[in-house]
Amino acid sequence: MIIVLKPNLSSKEQSAVVKEIKRLGYRPHVMRGVARTVIGAIGDETAHQSLDVLRAWPQVESVTPIQKRFKLVSREAHPQNSTVKARNVVIGARPLVVMAGPCSVESEKQLMETAHAVKAAGAQILRGGAFKPRTSPYEFQGLGEKGLKLLAKARKETGLPIITELLSQDHAEMVAEYADILQIGARNAQNFQLLIAAAKTGKPVLLKRGLSMKIEEWLLAGEYVLSNDNPNLLFCERGIRTFETYTRNTLDLSAVPIIKQESHCPVVIDPSQGAGRADLVVAMCKGAVAMGADALLIEVHPNPKEAWSDGAQQLTLDGFSKLMTELKPFIAAAGRE
Amino acid sequence: MIIVLKPNLSSKEQSAVVKEIKRLGYRPHVMRGVARTVIGAIGDETAHQSLDVLRAWPQVESVTPIQKRFKLVSREAHPQNSTVKARNVVIGARPLVVMAGPCSVESEKQLMETAHAVKAAGAQILRGGAFKPRTSPYEFQGLGEKGLKLLAKARKETGLPIITELLSQDHAEMVAEYADILQIGARNAQNFQLLIAAAKTGKPVLLKRGLSMKIEEWLLAGEYVLSNDNPNLLFCERGIRTFETYTRNTLDLSAVPIIKQESHCPVVIDPSQGAGRADLVVAMCKGAVAMGADALLIEVHPNPKEAWSDGAQQLTLDGFSKLMTELKPFIAAAGRE
Amino acid sequence: MIIVLKPNLSSKEQSAVVKEIKRLGYRPHVMRGVARTVIGAIGDETAHQSLDVLRAWPQVESVTPIQKRFKLVSREAHPQNSTVKARNVVIGARPLVVMAGPCSVESEKQLMETAHAVKAAGAQILRGGAFKPRTSPYEFQGLGEKGLKLLAKARKETGLPIITELLSQDHAEMVAEYADILQIGARNAQNFQLLIAAAKTGKPVLLKRGLSMKIEEWLLAGEYVLSNDNPNLLFCERGIRTFETYTRNTLDLSAVPIIKQESHCPVVIDPSQGAGRADLVVAMCKGAVAMGADALLIEVHPNPKEAWSDGAQQLTLDGFSKLMTELKPFIAAAGRE
Amino acid sequence: MIIVLKPNLSSKEQSAVVKEIKRLGYRPHVMRGVARTVIGAIGDETAHQSLDVLRAWPQVESVTPIQKRFKLVSREAHPQNSTVKARNVVIGARPLVVMAGPCSVESEKQLMETAHAVKAAGAQILRGGAFKPRTSPYEFQGLGEKGLKLLAKARKETGLPIITELLSQDHAEMVAEYADILQIGARNAQNFQLLIAAAKTGKPVLLKRGLSMKIEEWLLAGEYVLSNDNPNLLFCERGIRTFETYTRNTLDLSAVPIIKQESHCPVVIDPSQGAGRADLVVAMCKGAVAMGADALLIEVHPNPKEAWSDGAQQLTLDGFSKLMTELKPFIAAAGRE
């Protein structure tokens, strides 16, 4: 920790701070500069109590941590890329993985038609929401367990592993029974109780970035998964909230190289939520692949015009198939399969 | 709903949209303008399926809802101010209510000392966290039920009703047994399962605004409480996330007159979280009172320098007492007691 | 400056950084910690070249400045509040100053009617735009010099000093001939050439905060005025851009106590631009006064419904007069006149 | 325009609005809905006065424009892609154009070395700042005209056209004498006087997006160039300001397909400013190319560690050459040369 003192302190005021730093288990290192006195506090910041409380002292101008607060998700802890396995599909290895399917599971017909079509087009994992978090209590909230059963049926028919959202701690075991990957949505990205419940099922967890989550906070939320003995974590960028209103959110593609640099976990891009508009999804997928994403999560619907949720951002079956064709040269350019 | 069509459509393309609007239960009203054709869809937007799916149609440029999506929390539904009662304290009536206490309950001594001091200074409700949501899994997570028991003891000693945070659906009943008001934190503001669980306890719910929550989304989250048969809702602004880094968050005081205009529910301001700095709390409290807040939620600690969480933003006992004195003329100016 | 090195460097790699710090004129102070080596670079950061270039070194993880980058505007440089005089009106002293008038000067009749009315209601300075920055080239751009002449005439009739916006370096002398205070708009807040031109006229400068300007950048933009030999600077908060769309901008009232803490210059609040809605202006004015603003800048129009620009946010003459009455108890509570 | 009225109005109050709409030159179209009355105002919004003033009427809840406010830059006005020519280099055609060079021109040696190196690596245009906008008045402000002369010399030696920033209206003619493309920086993106001055030189204008500029505002700023008889406009995305602090700005790559959809003008991506970190530049360039950018603007310096400005974000000569090699497969995948 670096503690910057206010100017014009008496030596007594200064030494009180130094004493407190020692009391908290750090070795203080005083540097008297031109305009300020600065104290370096040497010690393991993750083992001792945070010196952040010093900000409450009238003598102190600022307190800056030196160590990164995340450990298990960090590249330093695990220099090699880690991979996550959902049945026979490996995410984070050389092949780019595409997860596709409807925003919400609506009916057997809708789901089976989509599942077969996305498989034919090259998707390796089927997505579909059975429990839906909705801004308004008056909107469609998902089919619940009935939706999960349909997903399991679609997996049986197509062989595609399935990913679906976990909304409630109380459903963790039930959802884990059906799903191959548990998705934690953006609104729940700092619902730590849910993260812990998801981690404890042992299933891979895909953690979407919250709408106003800094990279560091996202990594720390991931830390809740790994520190609960579940190493199977995927980070999924799906757009952050900014002032721009043209798109629903601003897809922060820089998150791909940043997460790759700071962490060993695979990175997934969700362009459907990011854009909120099907017509931008293709360009965003190309960008995501080029920037090094390990997987894509794409909303596809046999008839988006009649979808029960988020119709505007879902691709048609044809649109998805065309996307997969257009992506090929970019996948090759990125050195992937 | 107002549907704006793209330019240069054939009449067949236009009539397909008109037909779909009818099919969804609305009466279409076509206006041919200079540059665009616009269709007004007449019908109850909250009773029929949303026309938002039309955004997926290639003919459609934009879809704009006319009706507000929130109902029960709206001023239209309940033109008079509503009030919320926590034991003998009424929030939303003429007296300004001050809720004060430590960020986290740390020990009996710390809590009792604070409770007596804030009562003496004029606070009517005691706050204190027993379950703490922490960005990192390695930080102090609260004393849990032991903390709740201490809060109940402090209430017994001082007569002050207590407010404390509910973090987990699984704890709803337990926390409700002790608390007089359940607080839903900013990170859980769209954790709808938690909101429903809180509502169902029947206890008053204080709903903090999420870090990147639009006013409309906040009102809709409140709708989850009222539509689950709990009319005792308080909206609490505690700062939104912006680009500014001088303060931890940007306290959006405009939320006070806006919520008062759109809703009948009382409005609470939390300047401690908003600023993240004790030295700005006094000015923010004055502003909040002047702008019409019904209550304040303030972090107070006997020794902020040694607090286990968020020390930098907690007032000392003396600081709180001084604040209460300084607030008096503003409370009077605002026509409050 | 504090330089944090990456982990696992050889001693040769470390000493290269140390050598460079010396070469740039600083005294290095090496602290070997548990996880990182940290170097404190002692020296006057404002006199030597910035060590920021070290961020380009592969050995370096981060570089953090210790000293504040602003000097002349800082409270340290001038511990007393400074005041700014526009003719006989002093801003920054005990009396609260209200500047009011139309968004744009539209006609002699409109301006004179407004000027007399705002004076009667208690305003001390007349505002009015002659040159208007407009998002679209097809919108009304102001009456230009004709508008300035009308403002001068209004000043002659009412005795009120005038404030008007300076848009272009080329107009600096002309506008300064008429105006008592030059206003720099939010879009030009980092148009440094315009700031220098305004400063050089010697007239007081009111510097609005840019839509996405951090406090530090705002203070540094003010530094362009003071360092060009013009000590008459007013900082004016008028709302920052956030994700919220209910209001046009988010008025950041915390800026009042912050600027008061960091700087000696007076602080002005513009609630009309901040809200973009007349119905929120009254509450915002109360909040601004309570939080310590030295002056208010308010848009008033005899007939907002027919205003040539920004009608929605201008108060009527009656509305303004009512506001002035309602503000009185808050002005008294704030210890002002 | 769509005008939504408040609920429960008398028919007299409603007809006053209808009358005003007629008076302003529009044909009103009244739709009485379940919860609200909505009025469609038919007429050319870009020819008549804006109905936005109606927002000031107490009867009116909201006013929504239907027509887009930009004309000349719009895809509707010019369905084909337009191209911009800088000497012999065409931007917006099939070949991807790379503009590279130092952030600031520092010396003849630095500039010539860079110019030859970027040419050898495949860049077609040389960039370099002679006038630098700096957040603090105490930072290096550029070599001024001396820098322009060096750029002209570098062009003579290498044949590369040059792009450089225009900071001040007063310099427009001088800078245009030397430069082949005038760059308008992010801080000046709504300095309309500067945009007009740049447009009037007849030289191509590269307009960077302001830090908090919505797409629509950016397009409208471009409209200032085209409406001043200069069709040679390039839009350049360089990162917007968000809450994220890991990168200096958040590069909004979605701007590429959006500008392509809304406008005919070429799109340029500046990853150096976007990231503020050289180590992310390569990934961002790949993403930009994949998403359809017409050109890249990249900062390159022979010795970034000793650069006079923004060292941390400049590539080395080797780094740039490596980037050009790595980009090749993505350029091919994007169907470019």
DSSP symbols for D140-176: ----THHHHHHHHHHHHHH---EEEE---GGGHHHHH
Contact call for residues D151 and D178 (beta carbons, < 8 A)? yes
Q: Which of D256, D243, B49 is nearest to A246 (CA)?
A: D256
Cα–Cα dist C269/C287, whole Å: 10
Closest partner residue to C168 among D169, D278, D306, by Cβ? Answer: D169
**CB-based contacts of C83-89 (< 8 A; 24+ apart in sequence):** C83/C266, C84/C181, C84/C204, C84/C232, C84/C233, C84/C234, C84/C265, C84/C266, C85/C204, C85/C232, C86/C125, C86/C161, C86/C163, C86/C180, C86/C181, C86/C204, C87/C161, C87/C180, C88/C161, C89/C124, C89/C125, C89/C161
Cβ of C76 within 8 Å of Cβ of A7? The answer is yes
Cβ of D217 within 8 Å of Cβ of C307? The answer is no
Identity of residue B51: L
Cβ of C40 within 8 Å of Cβ of A31? The answer is yes
Cβ of B311 within 8 Å of Cβ of A278? The answer is no
Cβ of B34 within 8 Å of Cβ of D40? The answer is no
Cα–Cα dist D269/D334, whole Å: 15
Cα–Cα dist B111/B99, whole Å: 14
Cβ of A136 within 8 Å of Cβ of B70? The answer is yes
List chains touching D (3+ CB pairs under 8 A). A, B, C
Chain A interface test: which of D241, D243, D272, D291 (most A C-beta within 10 Å): D291
Q: Which of A329, B104, C259 is nearest to D334 (CA)?
A: A329
Cα–Cα dist C321/D168, whole Å: 42
CATH number of C84-333: 3.20.20.70
- Looking at beta carbons, which residues of chain C come within 8 Å of B211? none
- Looking at beta carbons, which residues of chain D come within 8 Å of B243? 212, 241-243
- Looking at beta carbons, which residues of chain B come within 8 Å of C289? 290
Q: What pLDDT score was predicted for residue A9? A: 87
Q: Which of C84, C80, C107, C108 is nearest to C95 (CA)?
A: C84
- Looking at beta carbons, which residues of chain B come within 8 Å of D31? 29, 40, 42
Cα–Cα dist A290/A200, whole Å: 34
Q: Which of C237, C259, C257, C239 is nearest to C247 (CA)?
A: C239
Could you tell me the pLDDT band of residue A66, with boundaries at 50, 70 and 90?
Answer: confident
Q: Does position D32 have pLDDT exceeding 90, yes or no?
A: no
D89, two tokens: 């280099």
Give me the interface pTM, i.e. the ipTM: 0.93
CA of D64, closest CA in chain B: separation in Å?
9
Looking at residues C312-321, what average pLDDT do you find?
90
- Looking at beta carbons, which residues of chain B come within 8 Å of C212? 243
Phi, psi of A216 (to 5 degrees): -65, -40
Q: What pLDDT score was predicted for residue A46? A: 65
Which residues, 6 or more positions from A232, have their beta carbon under 8 angstroms from its beta carbon? A84, A85, A202, A203, A204, A205
A71, two tokens: 């450990």
Mean pLDDT score of chain C: 92
Helix or strand holding residue C235 (H, E): strand C233-237
- Looking at beta carbons, which residues of chain C come within 8 Å of A29? 29, 31, 40
- Looking at beta carbons, which residues of chain C come within 8 Å of A7? 76
Closest partner residue to D33 among B38, B42, B242, by Cβ? Answer: B42
Cβ of A212 within 8 Å of Cβ of B211? The answer is yes
DSSP symbols for D51-118: GGGGGGSTTEEEEE--S-S--TTBTTT--SPP-EEETTEEESSSS-EEEEE-SB---HHHHHHHHHHH
Contact call for residues C56 and D307 (beta carbons, < 8 A)? yes
- Looking at beta carbons, which residues of chain B come within 8 Å of C288? 287
B231, two tokens: 């009319």
What is the percent of chain B with per-residue pLDDT over 90, rounded to a whole number? 68
Looking at residues B216-235, what average pLDDT do you find?
97
B276, two tokens: 């993240």
Q: Which of C211, C287, C268 is nearest to C242 (CA)?
A: C211
Q: Mind listing the pLDDT tens digit for each residue in A108-160?
A: 999 999 999 999 999 999 999 999 998 888 888 899 999 999 999 999 999 99
Cα–Cα dist A93/C283, whole Å: 57
User: Three-class SS of residue B265?
Assistant: coil
Output the CA–CA distances (angstroms, integers) from residue C320 to A69, C50, C90, C281, in the order listed. Answer: 52, 49, 22, 10
Nearest residue of D to residue C307, measured between CA atoms? D53
Q: Which of C157, C142, C146, C139 is nearest to C102 (CA)?
A: C142
B62, two tokens: 């934009």
CA of C271, closest CA in chain D: separation in Å?
16
Nearest residue of C to residue D46, measured between CA atoms? C138
Measured CB to CB, residues of chain A less than 8 Å from chain C are 2, 4, 7, 29, 31-36, 38, 40, 42-45, 64, 66-67, 76, 212, 241-243, 245
Cβ of C57 within 8 Å of Cβ of D138? The answer is no
Phi, psi of C104 (to 5 degrees): -115, 145
Partners of residue A181 on adjacent β-strands: A163
CB atoms within 10 A of CB C109: 10
Q: Does position D46 have pLDDT exceeding 70, yes or no?
A: no
Chain D interface test: which of B5, B31, B67, B213 (most D C-beta within 10 Å): B31
Cβ of A214 within 8 Å of Cβ of D246? The answer is yes
User: Three-class SS of residue A306?
Assistant: helix
Q: Does position D122 have pLDDT exceeding 90, yes or no?
A: yes
A-D C-beta contacts closer than 8 Å: 119
Nearest residue of A to residue C61, measured between CA atoms? A66
Q: Mind listing the pLDDT tens digit for each residue in A181-238?
A: 999 999 999 999 999 999 999 999 999 999 999 999 999 999 999 999 999 999 999 9
Looking at residues A293-304, what average pLDDT do you find?
95
Q: Which of D103, D96, D162 is nearest to D299 (CA)?
A: D103
Chain C interface test: which of A8, A9, A31 (most C C-beta within 10 Å): A31
C184, two tokens: 């720099």
Length of chain A: 337
Q: What pLDDT score was predicted for residue C26? A: 87
A256, two tokens: 């791909």
Output the CA–CA distances (angstroms, integers) from residue A179 to A27, A160, B107, D153, D286, in the order listed. Answer: 50, 11, 43, 65, 34
Of A211-220, A240-249, B51-60, B80-89, which gets the smallest average pLDDT? B51-60
Cα–Cα dist B252/B268, whole Å: 12
Within chain B, where are the H helices?
11-23, 108-121, 145-158, 172-178, 192-200, 215-226, 255-262, 271-275, 278-291, 317-333
Nearest residue of C to residue D167, measured between CA atoms? C193
Q: Mind listing the pLDDT tens digit for each residue in D204-230?
A: 999 999 999 999 999 999 999 999 999
Cβ of D70 within 8 Å of Cβ of C136? The answer is yes
Which residues, 6 or more positions from C279, have their beta carbon under 8 angstroms from its beta carbon? B257, B261
Contact call for residues B188 and B39 (beta carbons, < 8 A)? no
CA of D255, closest CA in chain A: separation in Å?
9
List chains touching B (3+ CB pairs under 8 A). A, C, D
- Looking at beta carbons, which residues of chain A come within 8 Å of C243? 212, 241-243
Q: What pLDDT score was predicted for residue C335? A: 95
- Looking at beta carbons, which residues of chain D come within 8 Å of C278? 56
DSSP symbols for B8-35: S--HHHHHHHHHHHHHTT-EEEEEE-SS
Contact call for residues B26 and B1 (beta carbons, < 8 A)? yes
Q: What pLDDT score was predicted for residue D48? A: 65
Which residues, 6 or more positions from A205, have their beta carbon under 8 angstroms from its beta carbon? A181, A182, A184, A195, A198, A199, A225, A230, A232, A233, A234
Closest partner residue to B38 among D66, D242, D243, by Cβ? Answer: D66
Could you tell me the pLDDT band of residue A312, with boundaries at 50, 70 and 90?
Answer: confident
Q: What pLDDT score was predicted for residue C46? A: 66
Nearest residue of B to residue A24, measured between CA atoms? B306
B260, two tokens: 């008062």
Identity of residue A23: R
Contact call for residues C272 and C314 (beta carbons, < 8 A)? yes
Candidate CATH numbers 3.20.10.10, 3.40.830.10, 3.30.70.1140, 1.20.1050.10; the one for domain A2-64: 3.30.70.1140
Contact call for residues C208 and B218 (beta carbons, < 8 A)? no
Helix or strand holding residue A41 (H, E): strand A37-42
Q: Mind listing the pLDDT tens digit for each residue in B37-57?
A: 888 888 776 666 777 778 778
DSSP symbols for A266-302: -EEE-HHHHHSSHHHHHHHHHHHHHTT-SEEEEEB-S
Cβ of B214 within 8 Å of Cβ of C256? The answer is no
B-C C-beta contacts closer than 8 Å: 116
Cβ of C53 within 8 Å of Cβ of D312? The answer is yes
Could you tell me the pLDDT band of residue A48, with boundaries at 50, 70 and 90?
Answer: low
Identity of residue D64: T
Q: Does position B25 have pLDDT exceeding 80, yes or no?
A: yes
Nearest residue of A to residue B195, measured between CA atoms? A137
Q: What pLDDT score was predicted for residue C168? A: 95
Cα–Cα dist A210/B62, whole Å: 26
Nearest residue of B to residue D32, measured between CA atoms? B42
Closest partner residue to A243 among D212, D275, D279, by Cβ? Answer: D212
Closest partner residue to B247 among C244, C254, C275, by Cβ? Answer: C254
- Looking at beta carbons, which residues of chain C come within 8 Å of A243? 212, 241-243
Helix or strand holding residue D299 (H, E): strand D295-299
Closest partner residue to A66 among C36, C42, C76, by Cβ? Answer: C36
- Tell me the domain boundaries of chain A: 2-64, 84-333
DSSP symbol at B161: -
Looking at residues D37-58, what average pLDDT do you find?
77
